[in-house]
């Protein structure tokens, strides 16, 4: 009798014993990557904040669905308050709204979806893209995250109608899309009879940590009646940087966007997933409820207590985790000062690593045998450090002509240096020293992202250099393939 | 020095003390709804499985991102294996694929997106909906979940192009969409020059627990070259029911769908979120990677070890929680027999409640003073029990003419009975007795869903009846509004 699901012995279809379940958990833990190491470096996420983890455990225990107020009174109230606090941090206008959504890609798609609604009007919601009366086109930087492409696929614009704008990688350009090129492309699209509807800006590009110029893009968007969405999934954290610091400066103009994404599960160490979408209300009063809602009376009962508090019909989802609580609690714990320190410290450590990698004398003193070539010989824009490691056996390649980043894809030197990073990464993975660091680029270069500075020190930056050299200095090129049989 | 984010005192922007953080967690727990009560009845989710909760805690601790194999080796491997097991349970063909996605709405949108690709071809991915050469239209039952409408909005089809097919609510009809009406609507759409591309079927409708006839729909879809997606978010669990049982019978033909959604966070008690999307590979070999991918080399490095194991480019997202582990572990713990028992027990308890509610003599013996009117005087199709409670003061309304469910929206008797459920629910909420039970319908009727039978007994069904009567029997109609001043 009683409830569903007995707990039988291990045999047959009867289920495992509690001891066996514990053993399975241990096995999973043993064979999984320790993301809690300060030296865990991965694509834009890092060591988790311990208070954020405590919040996650509270959420799991409550198993709350943030779709109605009656089942999630605390988290609904808290999410609304937190969103308003974020609206102020990013400098969005009073009355802006927001939602925590499952990931930065979804947040960017909310932005594209809102942009479409803003351009075409409510007819696009009922009648679909046919109501646009032409092909919508959007623009993002060539270095933008692929969620703009996936979003263009998903919302029915088509990937080839999300156009890539060339990027200025100079220190002054900060990895931003070239506004002159953007405006030319908009005019060309109009001349072809297409309908430019949005610019997808980026604050903190995935590889180089570049920042688009929101102030200039706002002007372009106003001139052409376009929506400005800002993908701040990674770089949104810059808005929390200390007054007058480099990070805060990068965040200039973020509040001019029509909508904005930010992932506290990146820089701030909130457990995965924790992503927020913020948006201005459209002219004429349209907000999240108008753009996304569809008034399902069976879920959002009109006659119950406080139906106006439900957030569910503001979303494109139904069930929704109360992810906002993780950011809320960790922010309480570290305060504004702690949030600022976290960002500024990540920027400082990225520059510290860069300075060391560019200091030949210091490396020699450390006994480093290979050499480090920092991408474009310049300081990182934000917390992403891109660099090549050149083992002693390839020392000739460093001096021999144009720098690596200028080499065409099929260049022989490029091909040869491209083999080094995968080799070193493989050895670091096997040795267990920060094995997750990525590589990428036209040719493989290392990409070290200080996504979470929690527990990281200057000494760790030295250690990283030494670990890379230790695993890489013995690199020998593979022998040439044997000649084909005659 | 050291890592980011100091833990200062409580004052100013310096952050809260550890004691204060603990106090905030306690406060949140105190004011939140106890979803772990067996008597927690909400829209399609219920008491969590304790082993599922343990799995959630393992996931939180590891904070793993299931986008690449190198960071999620265990969970990637496990997700693939679990998906293949689900493919067999649902009877999908060998070679079908799947993904855990953030919620059933997203899973349904994956289905709509895949359907569009299947109809139009790869051109829709690059060129957008314009490549369809006409207006796509889809069909779902009038009782389908609103995610089909939200999806039509999101993917650019437009809500008015996701057409509602009338439903047969008779016991034989099982709440399914009328296949004859569907076919007429398809022909009418074609005659208007539109392009029917999908049927969005439902296994387990939100309110009545109705099941569409997958076998008949497969034939219709084959005849008209349409994709069959099956929203089994709620009713997919029926496929786990015991051989020969009512639940298993409801699942007949699920494997004929082209794609299918299921939320183990509903019936099986996996913690929120836990949703799976399963799909056949398209003719010609196209699968999730072709439909959704965009080969971002900076995330899915080609030269690293085992790049072919990454699941990230099969998704429309980037970061993704390893939700599959929750189902995997709880399934291990209860075994196939435990999974079957859970479903069959939910069906049994729903029928038990219904039998009692329809048994006037038994209710009298229990001292119940009001009366219960079960929707359409029939057994539930699945685990959703819809019923009216009639307090003694409205006893006249029960016998006076057509049954409630046949009354038009503006009928006086309907208006009056519609006030009862919100009143009783409000009182039950204040008393703390299963306060989350929903109400809905053309006029408010109660909707009791046995979403999780864990810890529920026959005695609880009696207790529910008594609690409703205790809070409802004193109901008095509000006085008529005073006449307007002369």
The pLDDT value given to residue B423: 94
- Find which of A128, A307, A444 to mutate to test the B interface (most B CBs within 10 Å of its CB): A128
> Which whole number is the average pLDDT over B438-464?
90
Measured in whole angstroms, how far is the alpha carbon of residue A243 from the centre of its chain? 23
Residue by residue, DSSP assigns B347-364 as HHHHHHHHHHHT-HHHHH
Size of interface A-B (CB pairs under 8 A): 450
CB contacts of A150 in chain B (<8 Å) are 292, 294, 316-317
Rounded Cα distance, A420 and B38, in Å: 58
* Residues A347/A382, Cβ–Cβ less than 8 Å: yes
Q: Inter-chain contact B49–A3, Cβ cutoff 8 Å?
A: no
Contacts of B3 (CB under 8 A, 6+ apart): A38, A345, A453, A454, A455, A456, A457
Is A5 within the bounds of a domain?
A: no
| Interior angle at CA B286, CA B284 and CA B292, nearest 5 | 160
Helix (H, G, I), strand (E, B) or coil at A276: strand
> Which whole number is the average pLDDT over B406-419?
91
Nearest C-alpha in A relative to B6: A338
Q: Inter-chain contact B147–A318, Cβ cutoff 8 Å?
A: yes
Rounded Cα distance, B98 and B279, in Å: 6
CB contacts of B1 in chain A (<8 Å) are 457-458
> Highest mean pLDDT: which of A444-453, B34-43, B348-357?
B348-357
* Band of residue A300 on the pLDDT scale cut at 50, 70, 90: low
Which residue among A53, A56, A317 places its CB closest to the CB of B106? Answer: A317
Q: Are residues A318 and A445 in the same domain?
A: no
Q: Inter-chain contact B70–A436, Cβ cutoff 8 Å?
A: yes
Q: Inter-chain contact A316–B61, Cβ cutoff 8 Å?
A: no
> Highest mean pLDDT: which of A3-17, A435-449, B221-235?
B221-235
Q: Are residues B318 and B445 in the same domain?
A: no
The pLDDT value given to residue A308: 85
Which residue among B28, B339, B458 places its CB closest to the CB of A74? Answer: B28
| Interior angle at CA B265, CA B376 and CA A110, nearest 5 | 100
Is A94 within the bounds of a domain?
A: yes
The pLDDT value given to residue A7: 39
Is A43 within the bounds of a domain?
A: no
* Residues A227/A280, Cβ–Cβ less than 8 Å: no
Is A351 within the bounds of a domain?
A: yes
Contacts of B12 (CB under 8 A, 6+ apart): A335, A337
Residue by residue, DSSP assigns A367-432 as T--SEEEEGGGS--SSSEEEEEEE-GGGHHHHHSSS-GGGS-TT-HHHHHHTTHHHHHHHHHHHHT
Helix (H, G, I), strand (E, B) or coil at A218: helix
* Residue B401 neighbours by CB distance under 10 Å: 11
Min Cα separation A464/chain B (Å): 16
Residues of chain B by 3-state class (helix, strand, coil), percent to 5: 45, 15, 40
> Which whole number is the average pLDDT over A186-192?
98
Rounded Cα distance, B185 and B194, in Å: 11
* Residues A228/A199, Cβ–Cβ less than 8 Å: yes
Percent of chain B with pLDDT over 90: 81
Q: Which helix (H) or strand (E) holds B449?
A: strand B445-449
* Residues A256/A243, Cβ–Cβ less than 8 Å: no
Q: Which two tokens stand for residue A373?
A: 């070539």
Q: Inter-chain contact B15–A298, Cβ cutoff 8 Å?
A: no
Min Cα separation B154/chain A (Å): 6
Q: Inter-chain contact A4–B43, Cβ cutoff 8 Å?
A: no
Q: Inter-chain contact B51–A21, Cβ cutoff 8 Å?
A: yes
Of residues A148, A150, A138, A115, the one with CA closest to residue A279: A115
CB-count burial class (<10 Å; 0-12, 13-18, 19+) for B170? exposed
- CA distances B294 to A12, A160, B99, B154, B289, Å, are 43, 12, 17, 20, 8
The pLDDT value given to residue A472: 97
Q: Inter-chain contact B299–A453, Cβ cutoff 8 Å?
A: no
Walk across the sheet containing A136-141 and list its strands: A97-101, A275-279, A259-262, A227-231, A195-202, A136-141, A162-165
Q: Inter-chain contact A147–B318, Cβ cutoff 8 Å?
A: yes
Q: Inter-chain contact A14–B104, Cβ cutoff 8 Å?
A: no
> Which whole number is the average pLDDT over B327-332?
98
* Residue B192 neighbours by CB distance under 10 Å: 10
Q: Are residues B432 and B299 in the same domain?
A: no
The pLDDT value given to residue A106: 97
Helix (H, G, I), strand (E, B) or coil at A211: strand
H helices present in A214-287, as ranges: 214-224, 246-250
Q: Are residues A319 and A340 in the same domain?
A: no
The residue from A276, A301, A330 where one domain ends is A330
B277-312 pLDDT tens trace: 999 998 777 899 999 998 766 566 778 888 888 888
Beta strand B162-165 pairing with A445-449: unpaired
Nearest C-alpha in A relative to B40: A71
If one counts the domains in chain B, the total is 2
ipTM of the complex: 0.94
Is B481 within the bounds of a domain?
A: no
Min Cα separation B219/chain A (Å): 28
Which residue among B56, B127, B303 places its CB closest to the CB of A444? Answer: B303
End-to-end, the C-alpha distance of chain B in Å comes to: 78
CB contacts of B457 in chain A (<8 Å) are 1-3
The pLDDT value given to residue B299: 61
Above 70 in pLDDT, residue A322?
Answer: yes
The pLDDT value given to residue B462: 96
* Residues B59/B325, Cβ–Cβ less than 8 Å: yes
Is A359 within the bounds of a domain?
A: yes
Q: For residue B165, what are the β-bridge partners?
A: B141
Q: For residue A259, what are the β-bridge partners?
A: A229, A279
Which residue among B304, B342, B426 places its CB closest to the CB of A5? Answer: B342
Least confident of A430-439, B181-190, B326-335, B390-399: A430-439
The pLDDT value given to residue B4: 40
Q: Inter-chain contact B206–A124, Cβ cutoff 8 Å?
A: no
Is A8 within the bounds of a domain?
A: no
Above 90 in pLDDT, residue A45?
Answer: no
Q: Are residues B323 and B365 in the same domain?
A: no
* Residues B262/B275, Cβ–Cβ less than 8 Å: yes
CATH of the domain at B275: 3.40.640.10
The pLDDT value given to residue B442: 76
* Residues A452/A349, Cβ–Cβ less than 8 Å: no
Q: What are phi and psi of B13, to 5 degrees?
A: -90, 15
Q: Are residues A361 and A421 in the same domain?
A: yes
The answer for A335, left when phi > 0, alpha when psi is -120 to 50, beta otherwise, is left
Q: Are residues B144 and B225 in the same domain?
A: yes
* Residues A276/A99, Cβ–Cβ less than 8 Å: yes
Helix (H, G, I), strand (E, B) or coil at B134: coil
Above 60 in pLDDT, residue B376?
Answer: yes
Min Cα separation A36/chain B (Å): 7
The pLDDT value given to residue A8: 40
Using the structure block, give the residue that is written with the tokens 């879809």: B221
Rounded Cα distance, B141 and B176, in Å: 7
* Band of residue B5 on the pLDDT scale cut at 50, 70, 90: very low
The residue from A330, A347, A380 where one domain ends is A330
Nearest C-alpha in A relative to B4: A342
- CA distances A301 to B41, B430, B436, Å, are 15, 18, 12
Residue B196 DSSP class: E
Q: What are phi and psi of B26, to 5 degrees?
A: -60, -40
Q: Are residues A242 and A343 in the same domain?
A: no
Rounded Cα distance, A63 and A75, in Å: 11
CATH of the domain at A431: 3.90.1150.170
Min Cα separation A127/chain B (Å): 4
Decide which of B344 and A317 is more confident: B344
The pLDDT value given to residue A125: 97
> Which whole number is the average pLDDT over B388-405?
92
* Residue A84 neighbours by CB distance under 10 Å: 15
Above 70 in pLDDT, residue A391?
Answer: yes
Above 60 in pLDDT, residue B67?
Answer: yes
Side-chain-side CA neighbours of residue B270 (13 Å): 30
Q: Are residues A229 and A345 in the same domain?
A: no
Helix axis angle for B420-431 and B458-472, nearest 10°, is 110
Above 90 in pLDDT, residue A239?
Answer: yes
* Residues A305/B423, Cβ–Cβ less than 8 Å: no
Which residue among B35, B128, B346 places its CB closest to the CB of A63? Answer: B35
Q: Are residues A384 and A430 in the same domain?
A: yes
The pLDDT value given to residue B252: 97
> Which whole number is the average pLDDT over A166-187?
98
Above 90 in pLDDT, residue A439?
Answer: no
Q: What are phi and psi of B321, to 5 degrees?
A: -70, 150
> Which whole number is the average pLDDT over B43-65?
93
Helix axis angle for A18-30 and B50-62, nearest 10°, is 10
Which residue among B3, B303, B435 places its CB closest to the CB of A454? Answer: B3
Q: Inter-chain contact A128–B157, Cβ cutoff 8 Å?
A: yes
* Residues B104/B261, Cβ–Cβ less than 8 Å: yes
H helices present in A279-323, as ranges: 288-292
Helix (H, G, I), strand (E, B) or coil at B481: coil
Q: Inter-chain contact A71–B33, Cβ cutoff 8 Å?
A: yes
Min Cα separation B321/chain A (Å): 7
The residue from A296, A330, A364 where one domain ends is A330
* Band of residue B416 on the pLDDT scale cut at 50, 70, 90: very high
Is B347 within the bounds of a domain?
A: no
**Mean of all residue pLDDT scores within chain B:** 92
* Residues B195/B224, Cβ–Cβ less than 8 Å: no
Min Cα separation B89/chain A (Å): 14
Which residue among B71, B74, B337 places its CB closest to the CB of A31? Answer: B74
Above 50 in pLDDT, residue A457?
Answer: yes
Q: Inter-chain contact A319–B426, Cβ cutoff 8 Å?
A: no
The pLDDT value given to residue B9: 39
Q: Inter-chain contact B146–A296, Cβ cutoff 8 Å?
A: yes
Q: Inter-chain contact B153–A294, Cβ cutoff 8 Å?
A: yes
CB contacts of B74 in chain A (<8 Å) are 28, 31-32
Q: Inter-chain contact A334–B29, Cβ cutoff 8 Å?
A: no
Rounded Cα distance, A52 and B110, in Å: 31
Min Cα separation B461/chain A (Å): 12
Contacts of B214 (CB under 8 A, 6+ apart): B201, B203, B228, B230, B252, B253, B254, B256, B257
Residue count (chain A):
486
CA dihedral A98, A100, A103, A104 (to 10 degrees): 20
Q: Are residues B151 and B196 in the same domain?
A: yes
Q: Are residues B129 and B80 in the same domain?
A: yes
Range of the domain at B421: 358-472
* Residues A444/A421, Cβ–Cβ less than 8 Å: yes
Rounded Cα distance, B115 and B291, in Å: 10
Q: Inter-chain contact A332–B15, Cβ cutoff 8 Å?
A: yes
* Band of residue A9 on the pLDDT scale cut at 50, 70, 90: very low
CB contacts of A339 in chain B (<8 Å) are 5
| Interior angle at CA A122, CA A118 and CA A126, nearest 5 | 135
- Find which of B4, B336, B338, B432 to mutate to test the A interface (most A CBs within 10 Å of its CB): B4
- Find which of B18, B29, B48, B63 to mutate to test the A interface (most A CBs within 10 Å of its CB): B63
Above 80 in pLDDT, residue B10?
Answer: no
Min Cα separation A486/chain B (Å): 31
CB contacts of B436 in chain A (<8 Å) are 70-71
């Amino acid at each position: 009798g009683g409830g569903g699901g007995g707990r039988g012995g291990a045999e047959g279809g009867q289920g495992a014993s509690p001891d066996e379940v514990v053993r399975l958990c241990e096995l999973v833990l043993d064979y999984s990557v320790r993301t809690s190491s300060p030296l865990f470096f991965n694509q834009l996420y890092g060591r988790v904040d311990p208070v954020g983890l405590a919040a996650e455990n509270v959420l799991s225990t409550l198993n709350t669905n943030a779709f109605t107020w009656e089942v999630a009174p605390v988290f609904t109230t808290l999410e609304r308050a937190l969103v308003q606090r974020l609206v102020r941090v990013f400098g969005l206008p009073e009355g802006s709204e927001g939602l925590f959504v499952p990931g930065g890609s979804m947040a960017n798609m909310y932005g594209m979806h809102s942009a479409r609604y803003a351009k075409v009007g409510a007819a696009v919601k009922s009648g679909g893209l046919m109501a646009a009366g032409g092909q919508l086109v959007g623009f993002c930087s060539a270095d933008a995250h692929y969620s703009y492409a996936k979003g263009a696929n998903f919302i029915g614009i088509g990937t080839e109608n999300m156009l890539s704008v060339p990027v200025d990688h100079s220190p002054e350009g900060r990895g931003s899309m070239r506004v002159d090129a953007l405006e030319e492309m908009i005019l060309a699209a109009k001349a072809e009879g297409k309908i430019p509807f949005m610019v997808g800006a980026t604050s903190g590009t995935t590889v180089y940590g570049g920042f688009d110029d929101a102030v200039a893009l706002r002007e372009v968007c106003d001139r052409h009646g376009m929506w400005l969405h800002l993908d701040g999934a990674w770089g949104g954290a810059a808005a929390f940087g200390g007054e007058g610091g480099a990070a805060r400066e990068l965040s200039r103009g973020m509040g001019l966007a029509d909508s904005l994404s930010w992932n506290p599960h990146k820089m701030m160490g909130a457990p995965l997933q924790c992503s927020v979408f913020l948006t201005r209300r459209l002219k004429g009063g349209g907000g999240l409820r108008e753009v996304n809602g569809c008034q399902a009376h069976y879920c959002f009962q009109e006659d119950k207590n406080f139906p106006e508090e439900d957030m569910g019909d503001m979303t494109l989802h139904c069930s929704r985790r109360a992810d906002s609580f993780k950011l809320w609690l960790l922010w309480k714990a570290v305060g504004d000062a702690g949030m600022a320190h976290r960002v500024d410290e990540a920027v400082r450590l990225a520059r510290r690593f860069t300075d060391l990698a560019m200091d030949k004398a210091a490396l020699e003193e450390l006994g480093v045998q290979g050499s480090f070539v920092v991408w474009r010989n310049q300081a990182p824009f934000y917390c992403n450090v891109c660099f090549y490691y050149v083992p002693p056996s390839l020392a000739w390649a460093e001096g021999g002509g144009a720098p690596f980043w200028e080499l065409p894809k099929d260049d022989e030197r490029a091909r040869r240096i491209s083999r080094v990073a995968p080799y070193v990464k493989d050895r670091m993975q096997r040795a267990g020293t920060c094995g997750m660091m990525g590589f990428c680029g036209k040719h493989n270069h290392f990409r070290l992202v200080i996504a979470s500075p929690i527990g990281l020190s200057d000494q760790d930056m030295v250690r990283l250099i030494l670990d890379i050299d230790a695993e890489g200095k013995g690199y020998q090129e593979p022998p040439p393939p044997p000649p084909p049989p005659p």
